[in-house]
Structure 1
Amino acid sequence: MTAVSPPDRTPRQRWMAVLARATQAELEAIFHRLGGEPPHQMLKAPECATLMVEGRTGGSGQRFNLGEATLTRCVVRLDEGQVGFSYALGRDKRKARLAALLDALLQAPERQEVLLNETVAPLAARQEAARAEDRRQAAATKVDFFTLVRGDG
């Protein structure tokens, strides 16, 4: 996964990726600022499953199964009709439900821009700052190996 979203991603794919990486506390804070959860129905209650995580040799080589991870998914429908989905690593059912609700809210054109600017953009900025810090810390431990050529004697 790269730090920069590929250009072929849709806006919804971008906000769903940000919501999937958000913490439950961050999503709770968003709904606190919004005045609570909107009226909705559960189409698919939050449920946990496992998925196979794949890796690639050298990042671009042959695929191999790295291991399994837990995933929680949820589907909700607002009383206004928008359907929201979420998929999140881990077993946090509340987080999956809140992310699905926010996905549904973001689909309403009349509030999409405000929600993107006030909720998704700050989350994305915090996530990018955390990734940059991780890259900085990893770079600090980088070792450059080189060969010394020894002279005679």
Structure 2
Amino acid sequence: MNSSKGDADFAGGTPERQKAMGVLARATRAELEAAWSGLPEKPEVFPVRGPETGLVMVRGRIGGGGAPFNLGEATVSRASVRLADGTVGHGQALGTDLEKVRLAAVFDALLQVSSSSLCVRQVVASVEERIAAEQARRQRQTAATRVDFFTMVRGDD
């Protein structure tokens, strides 16, 4: 099997790359398109696989410790691309947005190229900020509906 640059660490990947791929999967298409259009120099990109859409089985556990069971299927999309220098990037995300996963794969490949990794890190940081802001908003909304229950002990007179 011929292994291109980038494929060797796909299974495990570096912690930075794993984190970036997770963030890119949660990015919106608009965020990725804006980042792509903002690149000063766009690389030549060749498709390796996809983009394509399929299904994965989602498994769950009752109470977090029970026996696993099949919860249902989720639609996912994936893509793999190769840059002109041979660097391979992969992208995947829930849903059917093929352009989003193609762009995520491009940014994964660019993260591995030292000359453009700073740009990709900025994109990842921007998406992380949005995700954190959304989580904080949800936490505030949830906290506003919180009800504290207490129990009063009555004596047996």
Question: Normalised by the shorter chain, which TM-score bucket?
Answer: 0.7 to 0.9
Q: Provide the alpha-carbon RMSD of the alignment.
A: 2.0
Corresponding residue of 1:70: 75
- 10, 13, 26: which is aligned to 2:18? 13
Q: Structure 1 residues 138, 54: CA separation in 2 closer, same or farther (over 3 Å shift)?
A: farther
- 128, 133, 152: which is aligned to 1:124? 128
Corresponding residue of 1:138: 142
1:108 corresponds to 2:117: no
Corresponding residue of 1:91: 96
Structure having the larger proportion of residues in helix: 1
Corresponding residue of 2:38: 33
Identity %: 50
Q: Matched residues in 2 for 1:83 and 1:65: separation?
A: 33
- 1:80 counterpart SS class: coil
Corresponding residue of 1:147: 151
TM-score normalised over the length of structure 1: 0.83
Worse-superposed segment, 128-137 or 141-150: 141-150
Letter paired with 1:130: E
Q: Shift in Å at residue 36 of structure 1?
A: 7.1
Q: Structure 1 residues 67, 143: CA separation in 2 closer, same or farther (over 3 Å shift)?
A: farther
User: Cα deviations across residues 69-120 of structure 1 (Å, max 9, x unaligned)?
Assistant: 100000000111110001100000010101001111111023213431x211
Worse-superposed segment, 22-31 or 139-148: 139-148
Unaligned ranges ≥5, structure 2: 1-13
TM-score normalised over the length of structure 2: 0.81
User: Cα deviations across residues 31-82 of structure 1 (Å, max 9, x unaligned)?
Assistant: 1111575211111021111112223323x32233322110000000011111
How many pairs does the alignment contain?
A: 143
